[in-house]
Amino acid sequence: MQRNTKASYTHVHDLAEALHLSEAAYARAREIAGLVPQQRDWLRYIDRFLVAIGAVLVIAGITAFFAWNWAALGHMAKFLLIQSGVAMGALLAWRFGLDALVGRVGLFATAFLTGILLAVFGQVYQTGADPYGLFLAWAVLIMPLAVIGRQAGIWILVQVLLNLTVIFYYTQVLHPPEGLWELSQLLGPLMWLSTTVFDSTLASYLFVANVAALIVWEIGAARGAGWMQGSLFPRLVAVMALGTVLAPTLVIIVAAGFDSEPRLSPISPVLFVTATVGCLYYYRHRRPDLFILTCALLGIIMVLTSFLIRHMLGGSGSLLALAVLVIGQVTAATWWLRGVAQQSEEGA
């Protein structure tokens, strides 16, 4: 092991085996290396977890309260309660500061409740605005909070709202749903949202929006922005970008062509290959991230497996061969990811 190398479980384990340490000595070595969480660490994690869960429960309680008592509440009571929540969140952010956990949670609650306020305003006054207008206005209004707060949570909310804006504008203005997309509305909003990306054109728009946000984030992280060093935002956006082009690619493979469904086009497989290659290169050599690499490999396995299922002959022999091929793909991906993890630890 090189000098000044950050201690890791792999390094300590290898040294313990080489020196034939006992279990007690091995446990002590982990403590000296700082690999065993201390009591203060557990208390800090529990404190953050309880604050975050408390904020989520408060927001969920406010939403459930309006859903249950909507008809019995007057207009002024509705606005007063929601605006009180918005003001309370802003007050917490001002009182504790944007660097404190309570302040960050308060600012996020303010951003979230802003959308509920817009929805209540539209319901009370029957503005007749389309859903994409609601999500776009929500994103624009909380953009200053995202810039000021410099936290991934609000930026994730903004990115989700922008994705919803693109989806609803495309499906309500440009190309209203028909066929499979229209029937999927009967299965609930989540099912409908998941099937909308089967449209190659819409998937391409969402892919560009998510990749642009991911590139901007990675540039900021590379330039040393401290609040952009986290992995939550790039992981979520990378999954969204990969998923939007993976779904139509799988449909193309299953449909065995582009003519069977007019909403499909070759652009989806091209974007999927481009995104996969880009993720495998960047998050392997430039900023290693096992989660994103795993998602990219999972997409490759799904595409190859779907292709094999489409073109393999029937019978029990084909099923056995398919099972062996899937196991082989998973094994190869696991072996490669373990190698990447070990190299990242050694280079840390």
Tens digit of pLDDT for each residue in 229-246?
Answer: 888 899 999 999 999 999
Residue 194's φ and ψ, nearest 5 degrees, are -70, -30
Residue 1: pLDDT band (50, 70, 90) is very low
pLDDT digit string (tens) for 312-345?
756 556 777 788 888 899 999 999 988 888 776 6
Report which of residues 344 and 135 the model is more confident about: 135
Average pLDDT over residues 20-39: 66
pLDDT greater than 90 at residue 300: yes
Type and span of the H or E element at 307: helix 290-311
Q: Is residue 296 helix, strand or coil?
A: helix
What's the pLDDT score for residue 199? 80
Q: Give the Cα separation of 193 and 166 in Å (integer).
A: 11
9-23, 48-62, 177-191: segment of lowest average pLDDT: 177-191
The confidence score (pLDDT) of residue 5 equals 53
Mean pLDDT, residues 244-252: 88
> 132 and 169 in contact (C-beta within 8 Å)?
yes
Q: Tens of pLDDT along 266-282?
A: 888 899 999 999 999 99
Average pLDDT of the residues of the chain: 80
127 pLDDT band, cuts 50/70/90, is low
- 155 closest CA partner among 240, 85, 94, 82: 240
Contacts of 171 (CB under 8 A, 6+ apart): 177, 181, 196, 202
Which pLDDT value is given to residue 280?
A: 92
